[in-house]
């Protein structure tokens, strides 16, 4: 499907599945699962380095080369606009001027629900500083539009709480957001299994971002493969256009004439 382009901040990607790199057993599992998922954009967190306490500790970027993947540094764990902006400035320095980032400003440690007022403030600053901002947000269509107006590169509403695996809880809000925005809408957070990813794509999302659904599956490598197919299948179903639902009358698929008597 050559015409079905997936473009974020001017760059075209082939995979509509974006994956996180947290919660895996080890770097080997991280690497294999991500390869299996076919994802091109992978999120990373920014944290203090150990200052010589564990000199031989492996580095994530040894496993996930920035040459092979588009790294998407996030602001997970930030609760204010200021912390988030500082973190992403550090990320840009870390990744040699790389501008594509994932903004998330959390409001509550129990639900990890986004703090939207702080998210909007941070988005404004980051866009002004030249970042291409993919932004985790609530599924409020008005705030989603405000984030697009600010100039964010992708709007990423939650399907349900981060790490919950509860699936798409409010498809109606997602529908409104997808309908009214021009930039890619990517479901971020809440996907639990392959059918959830397929539903997100059938709704018309441009992509799906997930971490726990793969990393905490009983077999993460196999789930990564399932998610790759689910995202592709959901996208194709969306493009194909589903048959209309008929709630009132069945319609036979086989001929109604020529029956033996």
Partner 1 sequence: MNIIVNGETISIAPNTSLSKVIDTLNIKNQRFAVEVNGEIVTRSEHNHYQMKENDKVEIVVAVGGG
| Among 211, 217, 227, 232, interactor with partner 1 by CB under 8 A | 211
Give the whole-angstrom CA distance, residue 214 versus residue 236: 22
In the complex, least distance from residue 179 CB atom to partner 1, rounded to whole angstroms: 27
Using CB under 8 A as the binding rule, whether residue 171 contacts partner 1 is answered as: no
User: What is residue 54's DSSP assignment?
Assistant: S
Q: Which is nearer to partner 1, 95 or 198 (CB)?
A: 95
In the complex, least distance from residue 220 CB atom to partner 1, rounded to whole angstroms: 13
**CA separation, residue 167 to residues 6, 43, 136, 187, 196 (Å):** 23, 20, 16, 10, 5
Residues 30-89 binding partner 1 (CB under 8 A) are 30, 43-49, 51-52, 55, 59-61, 71, 73-74, 76, 86-87, 89
In terms of phi and psi (left: phi > 0; alpha: psi -120 to 50; beta: otherwise), the region of 44 is beta
Tokens of 62: 């040894």
List 102, 124, 128, 245, catalytic entry:
102
Using CB under 8 A as the binding rule, whether residue 167 contacts partner 1 is answered as: no
In the complex, least distance from residue 73 CB atom to partner 1, rounded to whole angstroms: 7
67 among known catalytic residues: no
Using CB under 8 A as the binding rule, whether residue 110 contacts partner 1 is answered as: no
The residue among 231, 248, 192, 221 whose CA lies nearest residue 33 is 221
| Among 22, 151, 171, 204, interactor with partner 1 by CB under 8 A | 22
| Among 4, 93, 129, 149, interactor with partner 1 by CB under 8 A | 93
Residue carrying the six token digits 């001027």? 97
The angle formed by the CA atoms of residues 105, 109 and 110, to the nearest 5 degrees, is 130
Provide the β-strand partners of residue 254: none
Residue 125's H or E segment, with its range, is helix 116-128
In the complex, least distance from residue 192 CB atom to partner 1, rounded to whole angstroms: 14
The residue among 79, 42, 78 whose CA lies nearest residue 61 is 42
User: In 10 A of CB 54, how many CB atoms?
Assistant: 9
Using CB under 8 A as the binding rule, whether residue 164 contacts partner 1 is answered as: no
The stretch among 2-10, 204-212, 225-233, 235-243 that binds partner 1 (CB under 8 A) is 204-212
Which residues, other chains included, contact 175 with Cβ-Cβ below 8 Å and sequence gap of 6+?
203, 204
Q: Which is nearer to partner 1, 141 or 197 (CB)?
A: 197
Q: Which is nearer to partner 1, 51 or 243 (CB)?
A: 51
Which residue ranges make up the site for partner 1 (CB under 8 A)? Answer: 20-24, 30, 43-49, 51-52, 55, 59-61, 71, 73-74, 76, 86-87, 89-91, 93-95, 162-163, 189, 209-212
Catalytic residues: 102
């Amino acid at each position: 499907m050559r015409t079905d382009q997936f473009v974020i901040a001017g760059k075209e990607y082939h995979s509509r599945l974006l994956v996180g790199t947290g919660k895996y057993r080890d770097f080997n599992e991280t690497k294999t699962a991500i390869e299996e998922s076919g994802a091109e954009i992978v999120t990373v967190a920014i944290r203090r380095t150990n200052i010589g306490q564990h000199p031989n500790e492996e580095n994530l970027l040894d496993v996930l080369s920035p040459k092979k993947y588009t790294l998407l540094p996030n602001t997970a764990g930030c609760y204010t606009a200021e912390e988030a902006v500082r973190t992403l400035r550090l990320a840009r320095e870390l990744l040699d001027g790389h501008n594509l980032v994932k903004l998330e400003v959390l409001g509550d440690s129990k639900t990890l629900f986004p703090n939207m007022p702080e998210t909007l403030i941070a988005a404004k600053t980051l866009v002004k500083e030249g970042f291409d901002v993919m932004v985790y947000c609530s599924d409020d269509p008005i705030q989603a539009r405000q984030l697009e107006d600010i100039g964010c590169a992708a709007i990423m509403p939650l399907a349900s709480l981060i790490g919950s695996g509860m699936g798409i809880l409010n498809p109606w809000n997602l529908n409104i957001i997808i309908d009214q925005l021009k930039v890619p809408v990517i479901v971020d957070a809440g996907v639990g299994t392959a059918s959830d990813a397929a539903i997100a794509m059938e709704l018309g999302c441009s992509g799906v971002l997930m971490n726990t659904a793969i990393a905490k599956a009983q077999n993460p490598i196999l789930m990564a493969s399932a998610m790759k197919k689910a995202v592709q299948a959901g996208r194709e179903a969306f493009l194909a256009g589903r048959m209309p639902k008929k709630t009132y009358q069945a319609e036979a698929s086989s001929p109604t004439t020529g029956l033996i008597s």
